[in-house]
Structure 1
Amino acid sequence: MCGIFCLLSLSAAHFETDTTVSEHLKRRGPNWSQNLTVTGRNGCYQCVFSAHVLHMRGSLTTQPLQDTTGNVLVWNGEVFGGLPVMPEENDAAVIAQRLSSCGRPSEILSVLSSIQGPWGFIYYQKAGEYLWFGRDFFGRRSLLWKFDAEVLTLTSVAVHTSGSDLCPWQEVPAVGVYRVDLKAATEAGMVTLEVYPWARVGNDDTSTLQCVPSGCVALMNQSGLVLTSPVSPLNSSIPNSLNETETHSNTQLSVKDLEQLLASKEKNEEVNCLTCVLSEAVRRRVQSLPFEKKDSSPDDDHATVAILFSGGIDSMILAALADRHIPAHQPIDLLNVAFKLQEPKKQKESAKKKNKNMTTASKPDGANSPKFSPFDVPDRITGKAGLKELQELNPERRWNFVEINVTQEELQKMRHGRICHLVHPLDTVLDDSIGCAVWFAARGTGFIMEDNDQRPFSSSAKVILTGIGADEQLAGYSRHRVRFKMSGYEGLVQELAMELGRISSRNLGRDDRVIGDHGKEARFPYLDEDVVSYLNSLPVWEKADLSLPRGVGEKLLLRLTAKQLGLGQSAVLPKRAMQFGSRIAKMEDSHEKASDRCTRLCIG
């Protein structure tokens, strides 16, 4: 993974890059930093490329990559399939070599379409003097843009400045790739973006052309060329007999009930297939790591892979599958974040009067706590319960359950100093809550328990697995139940199609910026192209049955998969959003709506 940057000036004037932006980029790529300037014929334009490399696979390959004919590539991505990349090879070098052999736009599109995995890129094609850039189909890597005073700037991460910005940063829409004819742009004094869209069912081209920086113009390419979709279209079939909205009583089913459901629903084939494709997706992501020489010995004390871990079904399945593909002697870090709660007043008063041995109410994992802990948030409790399940699943594995505790003082400090810049240009209360929670979790600084004692701990894992994508594809959110109740399966299918279509702008760019700030890389197994294609091939009622109660009906196929993997109570935990499970939402104004603009992200 890398921090990538390009400044295109439509004149020969020299422009300095923002030093704060450079610092953000360097944190994303701490292993190598380098700049490269390309000047057009007769000095009519200037491109300043900057790359900051996080070494993830193969031998360390420096960027920007410039070939013998003058083509330049800055690449922020991972090739997990589609193009052959050997263990000792670096994917950026492989992509650069492939692009160097391309002449026509169709050839460049063919290379990009074949890549399975996340990417954001900027490519200067010397022949013809074109600048290409864009994001993958799901937008799993961040890329921002703005146009100001005849300067187009592209970057992985920006800076949030005070006051009203007349030329604000925007996320580059993950609708395809873009090409700028540099000669034509210089002559016209403006940037025209030629769009080569992904082939999507129901793609709205008109909205694409409007989401561009002020001062730029976007036009669909005249040849009508498109990028081939990397995933199968969504199965929208709905038998009339299933188009019902009647729901059962909202009571939780037990693990035993789920076992009976597994037998009665006869979903073994679907469960086996999902287990297979998801296991392979996890394998690709936990084994694509920096190439180790044969004479080097692995460090058994430090994990190479960590998981954003709440103990819920999404993260539990990732942990169980990672356990299959990571050598048994290597630990796996489970990153569990909690924001400090205020002790209830009633409990403070009663604590003075009651016996010290009196215990609090029983927790879901069966443990009783002798006193109030300000970090006993729901995700901490289910996380500890999930840890026990994983230890039973593989007692030989060292599972580092990292308790990451955040006070309000530290939250305010890091939000103002770092996180507000990473979340930008998103600005809602929801972006603030999730962005902050993910940033602290990904940092991995907390403590682990050893022999009943707390020991300070900081995760060394560069790869962080996250469960994003499961809810969007398997009807995991409460709004899916609302839509199902109102419009049946037809409405649910429409909602799921919308969820996956907007995931780049709602989640993925932000999370890539936040996690990458620690010099770590986010990987999304649930958004693996083969996983999405398989889930898209299934009719909606095979993936979710929202006539069943919470904790079972949503993500039903995934719950059956969890049971088959040997997981227990975690398989029937209802969905709980990260901002509520970590209790960051309780730290702030409880009257806010998730969609409100968050004033805490503003720079004074």
Structure 2
Amino acid sequence: MCGILCLLSLSAARFECDGRIDGSLQRRGPNSSRKVTVTGTNSSYRCLFSAHLLHMRGLFTPQPVQDHAGNILMWNGEIFGGLPVMPEENDTGVACQRLSSCGTPLEVLSVLSAIQGPWGLVYYQRAGDFLWFGRDFFGRRSLLWKYEAEVLTLTSVAAQIFPPDESKWKEIPAVGVFRLDLKEAARSGSMNFEFFPWAHAGSNRTSLCSQTLQDSVPDGCSAVLNPAGLVLDAPVCPLNASLPESVNKTEIPSDSDLSATDRQDLLRSRENPAQVDRLIGVLSEAVKKRVQPSPFGPQNDSASNDSADVAVLFSGGLDSMILAALADRHIPAHQPIDLLNVAFEQQNKSEQKPKRDRRKSSEPGTERAQTFSPFDVPDRLSGRSGLRELQELNPERRWRFVEIDVTLEKLQEARKARICHLLHPLETVLDDSIGCAVWFAARGAGVEGHRPFSSSAKVILTGAGADEQLAGYSRHRERFKASGLEGLIQEVDMELGRISSRNLGRDDRVIGDHGKEARFPYLDEGVVGLLNSLPMWEKADLSLPRGVGEKLLLRLAARRLGLGQSAVLPKRAIQFGSRIAKMEDGRERASDRCSRLLPE
């Protein structure tokens, strides 16, 4: 992973990096820092490339990478498939080598289309004086841009400014890649980008592409479809929009009337062995590629120093439980797995629940006297329950449950110093709640057992993408009630198309701030390809109650993996499960602009 920055001026004028941005980039990439500057013929333009590397896989390869022809690559990504990467190779080097062999735009697009895995890149093609940049199909890596004072800036992270209305930062949309003809830009004095869109991305994503592009281009710049009409090949098939001959319109009564046992019985009646096995197969392979270390990459000697290489953002809910169970298959038995569980202090004493002594709570008949903790939020309680399930699944594994408790004072201090800049240019109440929760969870500083502990795992598995594809949100159920299965399909199609702008850039920025890398198994190309190919009624049945109908196929997979109660837990968003949403102003709406993110 990298923190990357490119500054482009259409003159020989000197410019400097913003110190706050440079500090954030260094935290993303603590293993090496390097800068390269290039100028055009007769000083027609000037480019600064700055990269800060977090070494994760393959041979150590500082960035920016510059080849013998003068091409420069800054690569913030991982190649998990599509292009062959040998154990002795580094994926950045492989990407650079393949791009260096490209002489035409079609060849560049062919290389980028082949890559399976997350990426954000800036590529300077010396022959022809072109600057390419963009994000992968799902937008799993952050890349921002702005154009100000005749300087174009591309960067992994930005910085909040005051007054906020003057900020010009925008997220580069994950709808294709862009190319700038530097010689033409210097001649005309204007930033006119050629745009190369992803093809076969589904009707909804295609229709949104044009409007998203126009809304996302910096002021003073323009972007037009490349004249040749060239495209990138989408890595997944369009969403299956077929409808069954008959649809079950009878909804089983609310889950408030159903016990966990009732939900398990109902789930058992919906077994679908063939599709469950296919889903487990692609998910297991996605997790495997993301947790098995490279033989040439940095590794913890866990046998001696008790450090974990992999951590899971862990609520004890369905998505994180499946990731933990699958990670257990592919991580050596002697290595611990860190389960990062975040809780925000409950301000209302009436909400605090009794807490049993954790040393004996998993053994029937040995409960100690109950006490009260302001951090016994729903995700903490389900996390402990999930921990017991995992311990039963593999008693030999060291499952390290890290309780990360956040007081109001800690939250406000971290938001002001760091998080407000990482979230920018996003600014809603929802972005604040989720971004803060993920930032504290990924930091991994808390208590394990009864001792202070800080997770050193550099790989952070997150469940992003499961709800979007498998109708896990309450708005999916609302859409189903209002518009039936056809409406639900349209909603899911829209969800996946906008996940880059709503979730992934933000999550990459806040997790990367700790020198750790977010990895998204549910958004693996193989997983999304399978789920997109299946009809909606095989993945979710919202005529069934909460805890069963949403993410139905994933719940069946959880049962097959040996999980119990977690397979039928209803969806609970992190902002509610961690209780951050109730910490400061519970009257706000998620879409409101969050005043707490504004700099003082």
> TM-score band, normalised by the shorter chain?
over 0.9
1:322 corresponds in structure 2 to 327
Q: Does 2:480 align with 1:484? A: yes
1:217 corresponds in structure 2 to 222
1:354 corresponds in structure 2 to none
Taking the aligned partners of 1:80 and 1:358, their CA distance within structure 2 comes to: 43
Taking the aligned partners of 2:243 and 2:373, their CA distance within structure 1 comes to: 49
Deviations 1:522-578 (A, max 9, x none): 000000000000001110000011111110110010001000000010111000000
On the 8 A contact 1:244/1:489 being kept in 2, the answer is no
Deviations 1:321-366 (A, max 9, x none): 0000000000000000000113526999xx9xxxxx999xxx9998
Q: Does 2:566 align with 1:570? A: yes
Taking the aligned partners of 2:532 and 2:507, their CA distance within structure 1 comes to: 24
On the 8 A contact 1:365/1:384 being kept in 2, the answer is no
Matches within 5 A, 1:524-543: 524-543=520-539
Taking the aligned partners of 2:516 and 2:401, their CA distance within structure 1 comes to: 18
Q: Does 2:255 align with 1:250? A: yes
Per-residue deviation, 1:162:
1.1
Taking the aligned partners of 1:262 and 1:444, their CA distance within structure 2 comes to: 34
1:124 corresponds in structure 2 to 124
1:514 corresponds in structure 2 to 510
Deviations 1:482-508 (A, max 9, x none): 000011100000000000000000000
On the 8 A contact 2:301/2:307 being kept in 1, the answer is no
Equivalent of 2:272, from 259, 267, 271? 267
Taking the aligned partners of 2:263 and 2:586, their CA distance within structure 1 comes to: 36
Per-residue deviation, 1:294:
12
Per-residue deviation, 1:208:
4.0
- Which of 369-378 and 405-414 deviates more? 369-378
Deviations 1:413-464 (A, max 9, x none): 0000000000000000000000000000000000111xxxx11100010000
On the 8 A contact 1:175/1:197 being kept in 2, the answer is yes
Q: Does 2:6 align with 1:6? A: yes
On the 8 A contact 1:252/1:549 being kept in 2, the answer is no
Per-residue deviation, 1:168:
1.1
Structure 2 counterpart of 1:226, which letter?
A: V
Equivalent of 2:210, from 206, 209, 212? 206
Taking the aligned partners of 1:446 and 1:318, their CA distance within structure 2 comes to: 21
Taking the aligned partners of 1:328 and 1:29, their CA distance within structure 2 comes to: 29
Q: Does 2:23 align with 1:23? A: yes
Q: Does 2:53 align with 1:53? A: yes
Gaps of 5+ in 2: none
Per-residue deviation, 1:252:
6.1
Structure 1 counterpart of 2:575, which letter?
A: Q
Matches within 5 A, 1:464-483: 464-483=460-479
Identity of aligned residues (%): 68
Taking the aligned partners of 2:44 and 2:250, their CA distance within structure 1 comes to: 63
1:555 corresponds in structure 2 to 551
Matches within 5 A, 1:400-419: 400-419=400-419
Gaps of 5+ in 1: 352-356
1:197 corresponds in structure 2 to 197
Per-residue deviation, 1:242:
1.2
Aligned length: 590
Structure 1 counterpart of 2:88, which letter?
A: E
Per-residue deviation, 1:599:
0.2
Taking the aligned partners of 1:332 and 1:151, their CA distance within structure 2 comes to: 45
Taking the aligned partners of 2:257 and 2:133, their CA distance within structure 1 comes to: 48
On the 8 A contact 2:313/2:339 being kept in 1, the answer is yes
Taking the aligned partners of 1:321 and 1:297, their CA distance within structure 2 comes to: 19
Per-residue deviation, 1:265:
3.2
Shift in CA distance, 188/346, structure 1 to aligned 2, threshold 3 Å:
closer
Structure 1 counterpart of 2:327, which letter?
A: A
Q: Does 2:392 align with 1:387? A: no
Shift in CA distance, 218/294, structure 1 to aligned 2, threshold 3 Å:
closer
Per-residue deviation, 1:47:
0.5
Deviations 1:34-80 (A, max 9, x none): 11001001101000000000000012101000000100000000000
Taking the aligned partners of 1:181 and 1:14, their CA distance within structure 2 comes to: 21
Per-residue deviation, 1:87:
2.2
Taking the aligned partners of 1:299 and 1:28, their CA distance within structure 2 comes to: 27
Shift in CA distance, 225/517, structure 1 to aligned 2, threshold 3 Å:
same
On the 8 A contact 2:254/2:546 being kept in 1, the answer is no
Matches within 5 A, 1:338-357: 338-342=343-347, 344=349
2:88 corresponds in structure 1 to 88
Taking the aligned partners of 1:567 and 1:149, their CA distance within structure 2 comes to: 57
Deviations 1:387-426 (A, max 9, x none): 0000000000001100000000010000000000000000
Structure 2 counterpart of 1:336, which letter?
A: N
Q: Does 2:598 align with 1:597? A: no
On the 8 A contact 2:341/2:402 being kept in 1, the answer is yes
Shift in CA distance, 364/171, structure 1 to aligned 2, threshold 3 Å:
farther
Taking the aligned partners of 1:24 and 1:477, their CA distance within structure 2 comes to: 32
Taking the aligned partners of 2:573 and 2:31, their CA distance within structure 1 comes to: 34
On the 8 A contact 1:137/1:198 being kept in 2, the answer is yes
Shift in CA distance, 513/346, structure 1 to aligned 2, threshold 3 Å:
closer
SS of 2:134's equivalent? strand
1:73 corresponds in structure 2 to 73
On the 8 A contact 1:37/1:46 being kept in 2, the answer is yes
Equivalent of 1:241, from 230, 243, 246? 246
- Which of 161-170 and 487-496 deviates more? 161-170
SS of 2:48's equivalent? strand
Deviations 1:120-168 (A, max 9, x none): 0000000000000000000000000000121100000011011145451
Shift in CA distance, 365/289, structure 1 to aligned 2, threshold 3 Å:
farther
Q: TM-score, normalised by structure 1?
A: 0.94
Shift in CA distance, 185/575, structure 1 to aligned 2, threshold 3 Å:
same
Matches within 5 A, 1:306-317: 306-317=311-322
Shift in CA distance, 358/81, structure 1 to aligned 2, threshold 3 Å:
closer
Structure 1 counterpart of 2:288, which letter?
A: R
On the 8 A contact 1:430/1:595 being kept in 2, the answer is yes
2:111 corresponds in structure 1 to 111
Per-residue deviation, 1:88:
2.5
Structure 1 counterpart of 2:289, which letter?
A: R
Equivalent of 2:579, from 576, 580, 583? 583
Taking the aligned partners of 2:210 and 2:547, their CA distance within structure 1 comes to: 40
**Aligned Cα root-mean-square deviation (Å):** 2.3
Equivalent of 1:497, from 493, 501, 507? 493
